[in-house]
Amino acid sequence: MPFTPFHFGPGFLVKGCAPRQFWLTSFVLANVLIDLEVLYYMHRGEPPLHRYLHTYVGGVAMSVVAALVMFLVARFVLARLPDDSTWLRGLRATPARRMWTQSLVAGLLGGVSHILLDSCMHYDMHPFWPFASGNALAGIVSVGALHVALAITGFFGIIIWLLFPEG
């Protein structure tokens, strides 16, 4: 849905609790990639707005893409840092394999939580495509209540993150 930033709330909370290990960038990118679908069909004026990327299959695929992009960006940046740089010191000490796992876990959390949260709001979604059609969760909570809950999650996540930046 176009209010993508609301999806970042749970990401901020996980980031607040595990700042070193959690790749908020991969989490955010997965959410943005999935909602590009809504922007595209909105721009063209062609409902339904929630199609293939707003399914668990599509969401997981976008999660892997987001995880890969952020992993490659991190590797690229780290390879170009001068040896005496203290920036990203913790990340530089992390083996590549673990970096990939961290990016993938964060991307999957972003993508899967996106589909789950959007399922509660959008009647035009078929989250279990191509295995099943329909969306049993639609309307289970009001859109207003869901947004308030996500905003609160993000607010406390940022507070915890600011208070305990190193975990």
Measured from the CB atom, the residue of 7 and 100 that comes closer to Zn ion is 7
Q: For the chain, how far is it from start to end, CA to CA, in angstroms? A: 32
Q: How far is CA 24 from CA 28, 50, 60, in A?
A: 6, 24, 16
| Count of residues engaged in binding Zn ion, rule: CB under 5 A | 3
Q: What is the rounded CA–CA span in Å between residue 113 and residue 104? A: 14
Q: Whole-number minimum distance, CB 50 to Zn ion, in Å?
A: 7
Answer yes or no: are the C-beta atoms of 123 and 135 closer than 8 Å: yes
- Interaction with Zn ion in 118-147: which residues (CB under 5 A)? 118
DSSP state of 5: G
Among 22, 35, 58, 150, binds Zn ion (CB under 5 A): 35
Q: How far is the CB of 36 from Zn ion (least distance, A)?
A: 10
Q: Which of 1, 24, 62, 104 binds Zn ion (CB under 5 A)?
A: 1
Query: In the bound complex, what is the minimum distance in angstroms from residue 161's beta carbon to Zn ion?
Result: 24
Which is closer to Zn ion, CB of 42 or CB of 132?
A: 42
Q: Would you say 11 or 16 has its CB closer to Zn ion?
A: 11
Could you write out the DSSP letters of every residue in 124-149? Answer: T--TTTTT--S-TTTTSS-HHHHHHH
- The least CB distance from residue 2 to Zn ion, in Å, is 8
Closer of 103 and 113 to Zn ion (Cβ) = 113
Q: Which residue lies nearer to Zn ion by CB, 54 or 74?
A: 54
CA–CA gap between residue 92 and residue 11 (Å, rounded) = 23
Here's the x/- map for Zn ion, 93-122, by CB under 5 A: it reads as -------------------------x----
CA separation (Å) from 121 to 115, 118, 131? Answer: 10, 5, 21
Q: Interface with Zn ion by CB under 5 A: which residues? A: 1, 35, 118
